[in-house]
Amino acid sequence: MTLNVFWFLPTHGDSRYLGTSAGAREVNYDYLRQIAVAADTNGYDGVLIPTGRSCEDPWVVASSLIGATSRLKFLVAIRPGLSSPGLAIRTAATFDRLSGGRLLVNVVTGGDQAELEADGVFADHATRYEISSEFLDIWRNALAGTGGEAGYHFEGKHLSVKGARTLYPAVQKPHPPLYFGGSSEAAHELAAEQVDVYLTWGEPPAAVAEKIADIRARAARHGRTVRFGIRLHVIVRETNDEAWKAADELIKHVDDAVIERAQSAFARMDSVGQRRMAALHGGRRDKLEVSPNLWAGVGLVRGGAGTALVGDPRTVAARMQEYADLGIETFILSGYPHLEEAYRFAELVFPLIGKRGAGPSSATLTGPFGEVVGNAYVPKVSQS
């Protein structure tokens, strides 16, 4: 199997442990560049860059990394309602042109009312999805050149444009691909109608299968097909025992007060996806393996993606294959700390899932790969 594997840029901070400042590191341009270069040179297909008030701005981050990378795609979040369609269209076209067609767009409707209101967005959940739907109609059509020289006209309940078009078109046709996550009914309907790739956080395979079936059925009613991706953390080590020990280590500083504070903040959100993540562990640290090798410990304190695949390389590859068998083509992964784990995952798992990593790809070593033994000979490539 060859899967699309993305990594994640932690623009809200990075650390060795969750829920503490112990082992934390500053996320600045130099560090983000290191992670992006690690992802690019190791053969990851892209990086997801999140949006939110706890994150650096994703468009500025992505733009700053175009020149540091050569093949890596940037899955950059946009928030309809926060930016106008006209601005978003122009930003996307320019980014796609300057990066040589390396833009992917993640549409984020948002699920935290307080955060949205601080940004000046006072619409409720249903209205936000109406706005997202109108926004995407305009965005897609204007970038695709609908209406030709006269541009695209749209008059909606919330958004209207007259003669929208890009003089400098995006490289990717009809427009850079649209990715999108959301677990409410309105989200499924929007995915079915307008997006290219539906993303789910890492729920157990049976729940993911249900979501895929629902979105496929809705898309069929619109005469469309949708592709699927999943967002997971990963804790992979050479043995299963080591991986589970690393999972325990990751939350060793997390105490009940920190869990309580995080869970009550998540409970205030109106995000169905966030509720589904929280329900997996119920705030309890004693039942965190919610499906074989799927561990919900991350979600005790982290919002959004809250589960990790835990195991040795073969186990993790097999669990990924289970999701792939359901129709998942794209895996957006991360691990703490993001720089070291980008290397580790590529080294341990890429060979098992048909991906080229940064390591030696043939039995003949022609350059300084690995470490020369005793200044005398280059070790052979392991066939494992």
Ligand X SMILES: Cc1cc2nc3c(=O)[nH]c(=O)nc-3n(C[C@H](O)[C@H](O)[C@H](O)COP(=O)(O)O)c2cc1C
| Amino acid residing at 84 | S
One residue of 42, 113, 166, 200 binding ligand X per CB under 6 A: 200
Q: How far is the CB of 165 from ligand X (least distance, A)?
A: 28
The SS3 assignment for 232 reads: strand
Q: How far is the CB of 306 from ligand X (least distance, A)?
A: 11
199 sits near ligand X (criterion: CB under 6 A)? yes
* Packed helices 185-194 and 205-221: angle between N→C axes, nearest 10 degrees: 50
User: Does residue 80 interact with ligand X by CB under 6 A?
Assistant: no
Q: Which of 246, 258, 265, 272 binds ligand X (CB under 6 A)?
A: 272
Select the span of 26-34, 134-142, 267-275, 338-346 touching ligand X (CB under 6 A).
267-275
Output the CA torsion sign for 236, 240, 231, 58.
negative
List the one residue from 51, 99, 291, 307 that touches ligand X (CB under 6 A): 51
Contact with ligand X (CB under 6 A): which of 80, 176, 273, 297?
273
Residue type, position 112, single letter: D
**What type of residue is 254?**
V
CA distance 247 to 240: 11
Q: What part of residues 287-306 is at the interface with ligand X (CB under 6 A)?
A: 304
- Rg over CA atoms, the chain: 21
Q: Which is nearer to ligand X, 304 or 351 (CB)?
A: 304
> CB of 333 within 8 A of CB of 5?
yes
- Interacting residue with ligand X among 109, 133, 194, 330 (CB under 6 A): 109
Q: How far is CA 140 from CA 74, 90, 133, 172, in A?
A: 18, 12, 11, 12
Task: Tell the smallest beta-carbon distance from residue 314 to ligand X (Å).
Answer: 26
User: Whole-number minimum distance, CB 304 to ligand X, in Å?
Assistant: 6
In the bound state with ligand X, the residue whose beta carbon lies nearer, of 135 and 201, is 201
Query: Would you mind telling me the total number of residues written for the chain in this entry?
Result: 384
Q: Which residues contact 300 (CB under 8 A, 6 or more apart)?
A: 18, 19, 251, 254, 259, 262, 263, 281, 283, 285, 288, 306
**Is 307 an interacting residue with respect to ligand X (CB under 6 A)?**
no
Q: Would you say 106 or 146 has its CB closer to ligand X? A: 106
Residue 182 sits in the site that holds ligand X (CB under 6 A)? yes
For residue 200, the surrounding DSSP H or E stretch is: strand 197-201
Applying CB under 6 A, among 19, 46, 50, 176 the residue interacting with ligand X is 50
Quick one: which of 108, 161, 235, 259 contacts ligand X (CB under 6 A)?
108
Residue whose beta carbon is closest to ligand X = 181
Token pair belonging to 338 = 């993001």
Q: Which residues contact 356 (CB under 8 A, 6 or more apart)?
A: 43, 350
For position 183 contacting ligand X by CB under 6 A, the verdict is yes
Query: Which residues make up the interface to ligand X (CB under 6 A)?
Result: 50-52, 77, 108-111, 181-184, 187, 199-201, 231, 271-273, 304
